Amino acid sequence: MKRLLYFLFAMMLLCGMSACVEKNEDHFDETLLYGRWQEGTVFERYDDTGWGATWDVGDDVNEEEAQPFQWRLEGAKLIHEHIGTFVTVPKVYTINTLDASQLTYSDEYGNTHYYTKVE
């Protein structure tokens, strides 16, 4: 009986400790996204309204011609919903790094994008 009580106490202690451990990398401050980001010739802009845009100056596309998208951040998931003429295309990314100057995220195919804040 004593062993059973020790076992139950140990299990409760382990469960309690694991519940207290929270992964900080699963939660990011969305206000850090606000502004313009650059990776090579590709730019992304995140507005505080939940709207954004992406453009590639290498393809001779400027910000005024940018592809608009709605965005939201859910934990470490960054969701873009690109607005087309007849269809909305969702894209889901996993944020690896987000701070005041760097944004790194990966897509479901294992491609990682490295952005630097430019504004």
Q: What does the domain layout of the chain look like in residue ranges?
A: 27-117
CA distances from 33 to 69, 74, 99 (A): 14, 13, 8
CA distances from 107 to 32, 79, 86 (A): 20, 10, 24
Tokens 């502004």, residue?
35
Mean of pLDDT values over 38-54 = 97
Residue 21 has a pLDDT of 41
pTM: 0.75
> Do 100 and 35 contact (CB within 8 A), yes or no?
no
HSE (CB half, 13 Å, CA atoms) of 28?
24
The confidence band for 24, taking pLDDT boundaries of 50, 70 and 90, is very low
> Do 75 and 87 contact (CB within 8 A), yes or no?
no
Q: Write the CATH number of the domain with boundaries 27-117.
A: 2.40.128.280
Express the helix, strand and coil content of the chain in percent, nearest 5 each.
Answer: 25, 45, 30
pLDDT at 30 over 60: yes
**pLDDT for 66-98, tens place per residue?**
999 999 999 999 999 998 888 889 999 999 999
The lowest-confidence range among 16-25, 52-61, 85-94, 99-108 is: 16-25
List the structure tokens of 99: 């701070």
Residue 19 has a pLDDT of 45
